[in-house]
Amino acid sequence: MKLVILAAVLAAASATVIKEQGWTIGKESLNNVDIRTKEWICMKLLNHILQLTVHDDIREVAREWVLEDNIDKYSKVDVVKKFIENYKMDFLPRSEVFVHSNSRHMEQAVMVFRILYFAKDFDTFIRTACFLRERINGGMFVYAFTSAVFHREDCRGVVLPAPYEIYPYFFVDSHIINKAFMMKMTKAAMDPVVLDYYGIKVTDKNLVVIDWRKGVRHVMSENDRVSYFTEDIDLNSYYYYLHMNYPYWMTDEVYGLNKERRGEVVMYSNQQLLARYRLERLAHNMCDVKVLTWNEPMTTGYWPKIRLHTGEEMPVRSNNVWLVNENNIKYKINFDDFERIIREGIINGRMEFRDGTVINLKKVEDYEQLARMLLGGMGFAKDDAKVMHLMHLFRKIMSYSTYNFEKYTYIPTALDMYTTCLRDPLFWMMMKRITENAVLFKKFLPRYTKEELSFEGVKVERIVTDKLVTFMDEYDVDITNALYLDESEIQKKKSDMTYVARMRRLNHQPFKVNIDVVSEKAVDAVVRLFIGPKYDCMGRLLNFNDKRLDMVEIDSFLYKLETGKNTIVRNSNEMHNVIGDRQWNRWLTDNNVDSTSNTDRIVDNYWWKQRIGFSHRLLLPLGNREGFPLQLFVIVTPVRTGLVLPTIDMSIMKDRHACHFSVCIDTMPLGFPFDREIEVTNFYNTNMKFVDINIYRKDLGISNTVKDYDMSELVMKRDDLTYLDTDMLVRWSYRDVMMTSADRMLRL
């Protein structure tokens, strides 16, 4: 029987009824509540994480719940005892920044995760979360709680608030946060001239809109030309959630992840991100990403523009600095040794460890183990949180010129956090170096035969797409949780005003892909769609092997072919693992959505995409007015099974809704047919087809984006080329200066 919605909670001291909007936690069990109620409770736990909770029911449960008295409500008693012992001795203070690459922080976060994960039921889980919410570091709580929600059976269907709403500091430039604090302190009572100067608009709905473009732009290198992509909030949320789905430290068999293609999924996701990044660079005529090396200065600097809630700024890395110094040389040695052992293991076909463990690296299925060694998921110390892999070692090396001598005080770089690492160009260079080890492994595998590539009796006759048009639109990010509530707001349990940052972001018009396929018989088939480059940055035509690692898989799906002609229509909004914009958490809480509405839709079709989905906006790279030439590739193959580890269970991935790419469709290696070197004489078959496509760009003024309120006076009186300028205050770029007077008149 579902829990009746409670309207009040009894305060322990005075027995006074305190009314709250929405669902509250009472004495009754929460084990049978519906999805909406679970979501509401999770939202309250994650609201204003930098402060103690404003919700009386959570505070009441936190006071009453005693771990020692409820130890029988956890499936692993030793996990609870270990947490209690460590919490009493020493734990990360609430005021400090929780850092993903800090070993001490992560060991404690894993303890917190375990106590949440091994709660026997949802009621115990939530009451434990309330207990922790009031006692441990806010960042650590968000990390452990999010991971627990992702992996608990009774949390399937729960959609959490977007990461950039929970803790905006990692996603929003510091000057925006500073302006929000200024408006909070002055209660928005400022001179209109000052507001216009800062790019701030206050509406009659108590909404403060801060224009992201009004501020100083810090440019360190040519890589900042694609900062709109690398600093995109949805892209960074995707990478953070990828980690939440497959934490590198989650090596214990009890979690079930070792029965999934976790290593291959994480590696392919990184390779796909790298390929997508290359396409964005190519759109600006920028050449390939260079592999990171230690023997020369790093010419590429980075200015994160991120200020933490402690007031500390994320460190700036200057141009032309040596990455290795006396403070991190030991980590660099460890990295080189570990990488050398892995590469030798790939070449020799086996690796042997000091405890006698032997890992073979010869067959197709051995790729899973290699990927886990490179990016996490394989434990050598027999302990979660103590896992060695290349990316983890790299993060330790890159604490450039930052001294962290205190036991807990740690100022992270952009590379230290899963929510910010994609912002730094150095990360992409390191990603390429690590993924090159996976590429090396695939070089030793046999090339695909004609039989593996072909599909007898099936022919792809025609591929047609709508006109592909990209543009830069506007989006408002709710940053209210970055601000502290005052005494009166705490009583109301919400901020008097909503603060949002208006950003510019890459987007494209929805499009359709029409594929005509002729089949001689009715048969189940797997259809894969890729986009990739046609020319390199110098305008040279690329062959298959040159561009195979730059092919971005935008869709893969099952399709039942009928005898004769089949016309397959794929809408970009419906492509596999593609999601739209995440809904404002404040909209859900303010409107108090009915608990029983759309529950089936959420459980079956929505929630899991919020966790693993790639933003629909970022399917296509930025085009240009003349058309950015790319190629679309479609391949139709039969459904194949039996090509992965025997321990891999496709049903588990389906049940957990962990269907990244094609892992729940068939067992062909991810990236097929471009994951191995191509034998041209075997590659051409009737079941595949390349077509040329062009991606165009239109200006902001004709992008058909409609806002609820007018901000036209804050929009610069030029088209969307402004975001490409190195300085927003410079009217003409160098290219403009070199133009003739006649050309300039045409531009005006």
**Least reliable range by pLDDT among 29-38, 512-521, 673-682:** 29-38
CA proximity to 704, closest of 468, 471, 466: 471
656 part of a folded domain: yes
Query: Which stretches within 316-376 are classed as H helix?
Result: 329-348, 367-375
Q: Which residues contact 111 (CB under 8 A, 6 or more apart)?
A: 79, 82, 83, 86
- Which pLDDT score, from 0 to 100, does residue 605 have? 54
96 part of a folded domain: yes
CATH number at 239 reads: 1.10.1280.10
Residue 592, pLDDT above cutoff 60 = no
- Confidence at 651, pLDDT banded by 50, 70, 90: confident
In tens, the pLDDT along 566-581 reads 999 999 998 988 998 8
Per DSSP, what are the bridge partners of residue 696? 469, 624
- Let me know whether 548 and 655 are in one domain: yes
- Confidence at 744, pLDDT banded by 50, 70, 90: very low
707 part of a folded domain: no
- Which pLDDT score, from 0 to 100, does residue 451 have? 92
Residues 223-252, mean pLDDT to the nearest whole number = 93
Residues 641-653, mean pLDDT to the nearest whole number = 67
- Let me know whether 312 and 275 are in one domain: yes
Which of 35-39, 237-241, 719-723, 728-732 reaches the highest mean pLDDT?
237-241
- Let me know whether 436 and 454 are in one domain: no
Residue 699, pLDDT above cutoff 80 = no
Residue 126, pLDDT above cutoff 60 = yes
- Which pLDDT score, from 0 to 100, does residue 739 have? 39
257 part of a folded domain: yes
- Let me know whether 122 and 143 are in one domain: yes
Work out the percent of the chain whose per-residue pLDDT is above 90. Answer: 60
- Which pLDDT score, from 0 to 100, does residue 658 have? 78
- Which pLDDT score, from 0 to 100, does residue 3 have? 30
Residues 206-219, mean pLDDT to the nearest whole number = 82
- Let me know whether 434 and 563 are in one domain: no
Which of residues 739 and 474 earns the better pLDDT score?
Answer: 474
Which of residues 388 and 682 earns the better pLDDT score?
Answer: 682
Give me the number of domains the chain comprises.
4
**Dmax (CA) of the chain:** 83
In tens, the pLDDT along 485-520 reads 999 999 988 899 999 999 999 999 999 999 999 999
CATH number at 540 reads: 2.60.40.1520
Residue 722, pLDDT above cutoff 70 = no
- CB 531 within 8 Å of CB 690: no
- Which pLDDT score, from 0 to 100, does residue 380 have? 67
- Let me know whether 463 and 391 are in one domain: no
Residues 712-717, mean pLDDT to the nearest whole number = 34
- Confidence at 612, pLDDT banded by 50, 70, 90: confident
Classify residue 727 as exposed, middle or buried by CB count within 10 Å of its CB (0-12, 13-18, 19+). exposed
**Least reliable range by pLDDT among 172-181, 343-352, 602-611, 639-648:** 602-611
Quote the CA–CA distance of 159 and 479 in Å, as a whole number. Answer: 19
- Let me know whether 310 and 361 are in one domain: yes
- Which pLDDT score, from 0 to 100, does residue 340 have? 94
b/e burial code for range 334-348 (CB count within 10 A of at least 16 → b): ebeebbeebeebbee
- Which pLDDT score, from 0 to 100, does residue 216 have? 66
Q: Residue for token digits 């995109």? A: 232
- Let me know whether 413 and 281 are in one domain: yes
- Which pLDDT score, from 0 to 100, does residue 730 have? 35
- Confidence at 251, pLDDT banded by 50, 70, 90: confident
174 part of a folded domain: no
- Let me know whether 414 and 290 are in one domain: yes
- Let me know whether 41 and 57 are in one domain: yes
- Let me know whether 424 and 459 are in one domain: no
- Which pLDDT score, from 0 to 100, does residue 24 have? 73
Which of residues 5 and 266 earns the better pLDDT score?
Answer: 266
The DSSP element (H or E) to which 655 belongs, if any, is helix 650-655
- Which pLDDT score, from 0 to 100, does residue 384 have? 65
Residue 711, pLDDT above cutoff 70 = no
496 part of a folded domain: no
- Confidence at 702, pLDDT banded by 50, 70, 90: very low
89 part of a folded domain: yes
- Which pLDDT score, from 0 to 100, does residue 644 have? 53
- Displacement of CA 162 from its chain's centroid (Å): 10
Residue 710, pLDDT above cutoff 80 = no
- Confidence at 641, pLDDT banded by 50, 70, 90: confident
- Confidence at 642, pLDDT banded by 50, 70, 90: low
- Which pLDDT score, from 0 to 100, does residue 18 have? 33
Record the tokens describing residue 427, joined without a space. 């990360």
Query: 3-class DSSP state for residue 524?
Result: strand
Of the three residues 135, 157, 179, the one that is the final residue of a domain is 157
343 part of a folded domain: yes
- Let me know whether 549 and 683 are in one domain: yes
Residues 716-732, mean pLDDT to the nearest whole number = 37
b/e burial code for range 366-397 (CB count within 10 A of at least 16 → b): bbbbbbbbbbbbbbeeeebbebebbbbbbbbb
- Which pLDDT score, from 0 to 100, does residue 174 have? 93
CATH number at 110 reads: 1.20.1370.10
Residue 733, pLDDT above cutoff 80 = no
Domain with 425 in it: 222-443
Residue 385, pLDDT above cutoff 70 = no
Q: How many Cα atoms sit within 13 Å of 149 on the Cβ side?
A: 26
What mean pLDDT is reported for the chain? 84
The 3 state secondary structure assigned to 440-454 is HHHHCCCCCCHHHHC
